[in-house]
Amino acid sequence: MHVPLVAKGGHFSSITRYRLTDAFPSDLSKYIAVVEFRDEETFRQWLVSDARAEGVEDMAATWEGKDMEFMPKAFYEPYKSYPV
């Protein structure tokens, strides 16, 4: 899914895309995106937004059967910060 498409509407604080390195042998997904929302209410608004619906449609058309999943799994809130 294309980040600019699902980011319409200003729901996200940040989006970081990661690519799996070859540091360890793994059968995990090669790519992952971590999305940060301003708060839980903004996350809930995004779940029913036109931007998310457009992104899901685009993914179905673009990725046709490729190993790709787009499913919000959880909402985490800040718990504790550690000085480094």
76 within some domain:
no
pLDDT tens per residue, range 46-68: 889 888 888 778 877 887 766 66
pLDDT of residue 9: 79
Angle between helices 40-47 and 50-63 (to 10 degrees): 60
Vertex 54 angle, CA 8 and 32, to 5°: 75
pLDDT of residue 57: 82
What is the rounded distance in angstroms from the CA atom of residue 60 to the CA atom of residue 57?
Answer: 5
72: confidence class by pLDDT, cuts 50, 70, 90: low
69 within some domain:
no
40 within some domain:
yes
- Give the number of domains in the chain: 1
The set of residues, in sequence order, having a beta carbon less than 8 Å from that of 55 and lying 6+ positions away, is 1, 2, 5, 6, 70
pLDDT tens per residue, range 8-31: 778 888 888 889 999 988 888 788
15 within some domain:
yes
pTM over the 0.85 mark: no
17 within some domain:
yes
Range(s) of the domain holding residue 29? 3-63
71 within some domain:
no
31 within some domain:
yes
75 within some domain:
no
